[in-house]
Amino acid sequence: MKDLEDRIERAKDGLLEELRDFLRMPSVSASSEDPEGFRACAEWVREKLEAAGAQAEIMETAGHPVVYAEVGSGEKTLLLYGHYDVQPPDPLELWKTEPFEPTVRDGTLYARGVADDKGDVMARIQALRLYTERHGEPPFRLKFLIEGEEEVGSPNLDAFVRENSDRLTADACLWEGSLRDRTGRPEVYCGTKGLAYVELRAKGPDHDLHSMFGGLAPNPAWRLVGALRTIKDERGEITLDGLHELADPPSESDLAALEAIPFDESSLKASWGVESFDRDLTGVDALREYLLAPTANIAGIQSGYTGEGSKTIVPSEAFVKLDFRLVSGQSPDAVVKLLREHLDRRGFTDVEVVDLHGVEAAKTPVDSPVVEQAVAAWDDVGREAVVYPTIGGSGPTALFATGLGIPTVMTGAVANIDSRIHSPNESVRLDDYFETLAYFVRFFERFGR
């Protein structure tokens, strides 16, 4: 197997220079300052895909364009999702070197986007080139979908996927976004949680009143406390009618995967500055809650006077922002409906439920072929991967995993837990980058078998 590593070793300088060219382009999707430069970045990616032997094109959306490419032929199809846009580099003064002048220090490459997600995109394109050099055109259909709006919430991806669902069919999808843990082990994520983000709003008097009327005037903050206490019980367990019933129960394999995750509780608690987890959860119970259970999180709450000292009023309004992270089976629309019914049933018909944002959960079984291949390919490069049945966060993976029914896995970790994604001095270790490049070649080899 060593021939691949040798080949990469010999080509390193050129591969790195190519990545650095990609990183020099400030493709900040949140900025409208340089639309031509942004489009030039998409065109650059398209050309690189063409040069690697793919048929590549720019596909328009209502926002920034998608770069789409196909190569190879055969019965099976592999879809790769990534993005060429990056976060804004601010605050600039915290960067040790220019964010768009990629710089190597101590074997680490620093640049905006190197960890999220240009390193990943470049490694996959270079892997296709190396694969083709070794084996010719892939004996399977390989599709690249590289969007330009991930960092602004993929506002047009849903429409794009729906309009192009015929083209996007695949047997498996590799997503971006995985990491290496602190010991260097690559993590493979088999799903993301869903999200129902709502605001509950209560109204009291039509203007703030003197609190001499506190026993008589309806208080909207107390009203919200009343509603919230029906959503979690005294022990902190979620008591939203019907929520747990919607959930697909975790499989035996999910539970077995949990047991195999090295979970450093004390480091996590120390990094948060807390003595214990919520409800004093520990060990596998804590992991199960984190990865396989829904949440009902208060992300924000406000009512009345919140300045210094004491102002005596009955507030006129109150609101709370709640985000429910959801597991497979718990569709956000269904959960918002449950919440409305739950509150109505208890007399809180006056409490408004505003549906702010919803994301479907995505779940690929941990014993799916694509997960097995992802793990085996890490084995091929000498790494023992850690498999997460899902992660705690949410993302657009459901557009493919749930919407198109494509088994989807987040793998290919150029980044590590210290890569400072979205922050100044974003970085990737060069050894990790080249190992991940080899990993994608190995994955293609396995997928082609």
Residues that bind a second copy (CB under 8 A): 193, 195, 197, 204-207, 209-219, 221-222, 225-226, 228-229, 232, 234, 236, 272-274, 276-278, 281, 286, 289-290, 293-306, 309-315, 318-321, 323, 325, 356-357, 391-394
User: Which residue number, 37 or 283, has a Cβ lying nearer to a second copy?
Assistant: 283
Which structure tokens are listed for 172?
């498996």
Complete edge-to-edge strand list for the sheet that includes strand 352-359: 317-326, 194-203, 352-359
Other residues' Cβ atoms within 10 Å of the Cβ of residue 369: 14
User: Which residue number, 321 or 446, has a Cβ lying nearer to a second copy?
Assistant: 321
Which structure tokens are listed for 112?
């905006």
> Least distance to a second copy from the beta carbon of 266, Å?
14
> Least distance to a second copy from the beta carbon of 191, Å?
13
**Burial of 89 per CB tally in 10 Å (0-12, 13-18, 19+):** buried
> Least distance to a second copy from the beta carbon of 204, Å?
7
User: Which residue number, 77 or 219, has a Cβ lying nearer to a second copy?
Assistant: 219
User: Which residue number, 127 or 209, has a Cβ lying nearer to a second copy?
Assistant: 209
User: Which residue number, 203 or 337, has a Cβ lying nearer to a second copy?
Assistant: 203
Q: Do residues 389 and 254 make contact, with C-beta atoms less than 8 angstroms apart? A: yes
User: Which residue number, 40 or 356, has a Cβ lying nearer to a second copy?
Assistant: 356
Q: What Å distances lie between residue 72 and 132, 250, 445, CA to CA?
A: 10, 36, 13
CA 355 to chain centre: 21
> Least distance to a second copy from the beta carbon of 305, Å?
4
Q: Is 60 left (phi over 0), alpha (psi -120 to 50) or beta?
A: beta
User: Which residue number, 100 or 277, has a Cβ lying nearer to a second copy?
Assistant: 277
DSSP state of 225: H
In one-letter notation, the amino acid at residue 191 is: G
> Least distance to a second copy from the beta carbon of 433, Å?
25
Nearest to 40 by CA among 70, 76, 67: 67
> Least distance to a second copy from the beta carbon of 297, Å?
3
> Least distance to a second copy from the beta carbon of 281, Å?
7
DSSP state of 83: E
